[in-house]
Structure 1
């Protein structure tokens, strides 16, 4: 499904995306986040507690092969993607909180993702080489650090890098649609309904649970929308990269099915959700205090 050229291009894309993610942040942003950590804490809990559990439930109740089950679990354990920042902006969410949550969940993922994968892979009796995933995650922190350093040295260069990183995340999805879908049309036709349910359901259920959780904790509606999008919009390119660098051959291609399908449908689902959020921007919300809490 993903050839050698695409894997090389994917590696370059991931590097630039992570570089842009790092360029969106400065050490001061982390300091401000630590001073008012409630919103970020809610988002991180929603990201790494609910999403893996949702993936676990899909694997438990849907009849899927082991390779598809591994793809579901890996996809569910990913941090937020930069695509969520764009939809947070258009849905009138809290963009600053969205960016902080994306970067924080990525950095925290170096520690949390292997632990969560160990727990759920053991519970589901799946074979996932966690050591390779840890190495990949650590290596991905390098461009994040470079991006932060670039932003600190030159604010303009950092802003340009951030823009290209975010734009490339969307381009990756378009790239999949234009190049991957036609060549894998038969695969899409042969894919079981259960795989489609899991691929689309991770986003739909994740956004719904994230929003309800944030509202139950009485977060400002802007921040609740942000938490919802950050929870449901996972880093699909990162999942595909981890699989490409961890597995090989036919096994890798089959495991990539869920992250690839998820990346295809995420824009459609998120666009619909964004339209719903914009329509729900009632006058009563405008009277509420605007804060990160």
Structure 2
């Protein structure tokens, strides 16, 4: 079991490398990965099941203890990223499938990796976990509604069908994960160490499926999509930080909200794109999955280094 936990930790720490590696392999050898396409929803369900196994009532207590931070974080998540996505799609006159794909990423809740990044950044990790949990549980209603409002001018959107999809892919697996945790507590606790490895494998397979299924379009517009994703992510991180600062939240909370806003559940974006539009619309999610696992750790490392430096300064002055 210790070896499995070590492998899981290694996979989590090198996540971006595996995403990039298999994305490149899928680009050059698409036939080897196309078969994964029909299983994207199932793979996302596995990731969400793992998230359910990690949740507890403590994750939601902060709603009562620190409602301001939670409300600001959740609202920022579902307002900033969708509006940035819409602005980029309009401003850059993106092709319909790509425009919808970018909006899809923006309308998704925060990704679980944001919690780890907030911890490394010496931010408010409890706040990050609560925002991720609340935004994920609100996703069945808010994500389809936002996509319908912002993306309908490019492609037809069925908010009701999308609602059903999000419930199936997100809520049901999370509830099942919670039930397993409650009913089989000891076994669930033993298996938690392996969950990062399972999640990494699932997300890598989703990315490989998307890339292999949209190979020609990626080769045609890959640089444009990559530039849009980088811009979207960077603006989200910046806007989240500025909003939290303007609303006078504490510095650790500002870092948590910045990372929450900038790091999305791109697996959900890819799954919804494939289920309701076409594989091309899933490409921004696939690239986002890779990129935010580079920008997030870079920002977290900087903030963590800055916090440690300030701590050392304080210690030397008091000593």
Range into which the TM-score falls when normalised by the shorter chain = 0.7 to 0.9
Corresponding residue for residue 296 of structure 2:
270
Corresponding residue for residue 283 of structure 2:
257
Shift of 1:107: 0.6
Shift of 1:175: 4.3
Deviations 1:163-204 (A, max 9, x none): 444443333454467787689766544215432222222211
2:195 equivalent to 1:141:
no
Distance, in Å, in 2 between the alignment partners of 1:179 and 1:137 is 19
Corresponding residue for residue 20 of structure 1:
50
2:160 equivalent to 1:131:
yes
Q: How does 1:94-243 map to 2 (within 5 A)?
A: 94-122=124-152, 124-139=153-168, 140-160=170-190, 162-175=192-205, 187-191=217-221, 193-243=223-273
Evaluate the alpha carbon distance shift between residue 11 and residue 115 of structure 1 in structure 2; reply closer, same or farther with a 3 A threshold.
closer
Distance, in Å, in 2 between the alignment partners of 1:212 and 1:285 is 27
Shift of 1:27: 3.4
Evaluate the alpha carbon distance shift between residue 71 and residue 142 of structure 1 in structure 2; reply closer, same or farther with a 3 A threshold.
same
Corresponding residue for residue 291 of structure 1:
none
Deviations 1:29-59 (A, max 9, x none): 3244234322211110110011111001101
Structure with the higher fraction of residues in helix conformation: 2
Shift of 1:278: 1.6
Residues 81 and 261, structure 2, Cα contact 8 Å, conserved in 1: yes
Evaluate the alpha carbon distance shift between residue 169 and residue 62 of structure 1 in structure 2; reply closer, same or farther with a 3 A threshold.
farther
Residues 84 and 232, structure 2, Cα contact 8 Å, conserved in 1: yes
TM-score, normalised by the number of residues in structure 1: 0.84
Evaluate the alpha carbon distance shift between residue 178 and residue 118 of structure 1 in structure 2; reply closer, same or farther with a 3 A threshold.
closer
Residues 22 and 103, structure 1, Cα contact 8 Å, conserved in 2: no
- Higher-Rg member (1/2): 2
Q: Which moved more, 1:156-165 or 1:16-25?
A: 156-165
5+ long unaligned stretches in structure 1: 288-293
Distance, in Å, in 2 between the alignment partners of 1:38 and 1:26 is 21
Residues 214 and 280, structure 2, Cα contact 8 Å, conserved in 1: no
Residues 83 and 166, structure 1, Cα contact 8 Å, conserved in 2: no
SS at match of 1:191: helix
Q: Which moved more, 1:29-38 or 1:196-205?
A: 29-38
Shift of 1:8: 4.2
TM-score, normalised by the number of residues in structure 2: 0.78
